[in-house]
Amino acid sequence: MNPVSETWRCIVRSPGVRGGNPIVEKTRIAVHDVIGLLQNGETIETVRTNCFPELTRSQIYERLAYYEDHRGEIDLLVARQMSAPSP
């Protein structure tokens, strides 16, 4: 896996995994998955306990920090995910 940058130690891009979008290292959880949930009313605690129990609080906070530096990219990914038809 290739790091997105040295600043984001647990966020990587891996070709063929989630379309090459930024994910939590060693998972298939995309940054935009976490941000989308938070934008739709989940809290950090409910994301951690109900949605992605394998994530730590610090990993969720790192996703938020990444989002602050990459807001345009992540907002676009969240919008695409929300507009995609349900299977």
Strand-pair partners of 3: 12
Q: What is the mean pLDDT of each run of 10 residues along the chain (87 residues)?
A: 58 91 92 95 96 94 93 94 75
pLDDT at residue number 86: 65
Angle at 6 between CA 12 and CA 71, to 5 degrees: 65
Question: Phi/psi of residue 17, each to 5°?
Answer: -115, 115
pLDDT at residue number 83: 87
pLDDT at residue number 82: 85
* Extents of the domains making up the chain: 2-82
CATH classification code of 2-82: 1.10.10.10
